[in-house]
Amino acid sequence: MEQLIQSLIGAGLNDKEARVYIALLQLGTASAYSISVKSGLKKPTTYVILDELLKKGLVLKIPRAKKQQYMAKQPDEFFEMAEERLRNAKKALPELKSLSQKETDTKVLLYEGLKGMEQICFYKMDELHDTEDIGFWSKSEGVSEGFFEIANRWAQNLIKNNITMSGITPDNRSVHDWMPQHPAMKHTYLVPESDYSSKVSIDVTKSFVRIVDGHALQGIIIENERVAETLRQIFKMVMKQQEVANKKIDESPKLT
């Protein structure tokens, strides 16, 4: 019995809640008095615990009973609920991990899955109005429909927030299909895939660096203005070189 109680405590109940829940599972349908006797708890305490379990959705009241009766939800439902609470709590993991970095002003946040991709794409979007997002953009060939839908919404929100998107991207069919639909990319240079064929995007905002692998559905945010400015300068230098190269091509003699 104690092992069962410890298992329920590990899933989120306290000792008294676990004892009342186990007693009710054994009884099937029972009154608070019967549950009190079975669990070994005082009747007033049992009422309090039953109210807590009702709030948590683990116990049900039986309607239209002459004497108030209770029934426990099955254990598989309880553990499914516990797992769902854990999944929801884990969504805050990147932010919580960043709070533990007390000795540095750098935050490193990790994201995974489609939900993580949505979070990383829209990270601090409301703080980036009227700024430039510059980067080495990947081709979208082979990414899932779910990620492609997130990327589309992100690009549309860049326009809404007047965020300029510039940088370099592979000269790939998927990019040619994408660019006409997203005018924010008008300042982006196409380079031959033989020079740059990345499936991972690295972009820089005014305060953080974002690395996104849309194929593996994984990403990293590095929030540090100094790191962001360093990469921004590197990206700008590369873009100037590309601008010169494009100009030379445009001004070269044409065969007649």
Which residue do the tokens 């809640």 mark? 17
pLDDT of 65 > 70? The answer is no
Report pLDDT for 68: 85
Residue 24 forms part of a structural domain = yes
Tell me how far apart the alpha carbons of residues 136 and 200 are, in angstroms, rounded to a whole number.
Answer: 8
Axis-axis angle for helices 32-39, 15-27 (nearest 10):
110
Can you tell me the mean pLDDT for 116-130? 92
Tell me how far apart the alpha carbons of residues 158 and 125 are, in angstroms, rounded to a whole number.
Answer: 8
pLDDT of 237 > 80? The answer is yes
Residue 256 forms part of a structural domain = no
Write down which residue in 87, 102, 127 finishes a domain.
87
Write down which residue in 87, 118, 139 finishes a domain.
87
For residue 21, what are the CA distances in angstroms to 32, 58, 66, 78?
A: 12, 8, 22, 10
Write down which residue in 72, 87, 102 finishes a domain.
87
Is the torsion defined by CA of 230, 231, 237, 239 positive or negative? negative
Could you read off the pLDDT of 134-146 as tens digits, one per residue? 989 888 888 888 9
E strands, 90-239, where?
107-112, 132-136, 164-170, 187-191, 201-204, 208-213, 218-223
Could you read off the pLDDT of 166-221 as tens digits, one per residue? 888 888 887 777 666 666 666 677 888 888 888 899 999 989 999 999 999 999 99
Tell me how far apart the alpha carbons of residues 5 and 28 are, in angstroms, rounded to a whole number.
Answer: 18
Q: Are residues 179 and 237 in the same domain?
A: yes
Domain count, the chain: 2
Do residues 206 and 128 lie in contact, with contact meaning Cβ atoms separated by under 8 Å?
yes
Report pLDDT for 175: 73
Q: Are residues 82 and 147 in the same domain?
A: no
Is the torsion defined by CA of 26, 31, 32, 36 positive or negative? negative
Q: Are residues 96 and 80 in the same domain?
A: no
Can you tell me the mean pLDDT for 211-238? 92
Which domain does 83 fall in, by range?
A: 2-87
Q: Are residues 122 and 188 in the same domain?
A: yes
Q: Are residues 110 and 146 in the same domain?
A: yes
Could you read off the pLDDT of 145-171 as tens digits, one per residue? 899 899 889 888 888 888 888 888 888
Q: Are residues 79 and 112 in the same domain?
A: no
Tell me how far apart the alpha carbons of residues 105 and 55 are, in angstroms, rounded to a whole number.
Answer: 41
- Ranking 35-44, 177-186, 243-252 by mean pLDDT, the lowest is 243-252
Helix (H) / strand (E) containing 60: strand 59-62
Residue 174 forms part of a structural domain = yes
The percent of residues above 70 in pLDDT, for the chain, comes to 87
Residue 69 forms part of a structural domain = yes
CA angle 211, 212, 213 (to 5 degrees): 130
Residue 56 maps to which CATH number? 1.10.10.10
Tell me how far apart the alpha carbons of residues 6 and 60 are, in angstroms, rounded to a whole number.
Answer: 23
Tell me how far apart the alpha carbons of residues 151 and 133 are, in angstroms, rounded to a whole number.
Answer: 14
Q: Which of 71, 14, 23 is nearest to 43 (CA)?
A: 23
Q: Are residues 57 and 155 in the same domain?
A: no
Residue 126 maps to which CATH number? 3.30.870
Which residue do the tokens 């990947």 mark? 138
Band (pLDDT 50/70/90 cuts) for residue 256 is very low
Do residues 46 and 32 lie in contact, with contact meaning Cβ atoms separated by under 8 Å?
yes
Band (pLDDT 50/70/90 cuts) for residue 104 is low
Q: Are residues 73 and 105 in the same domain?
A: no
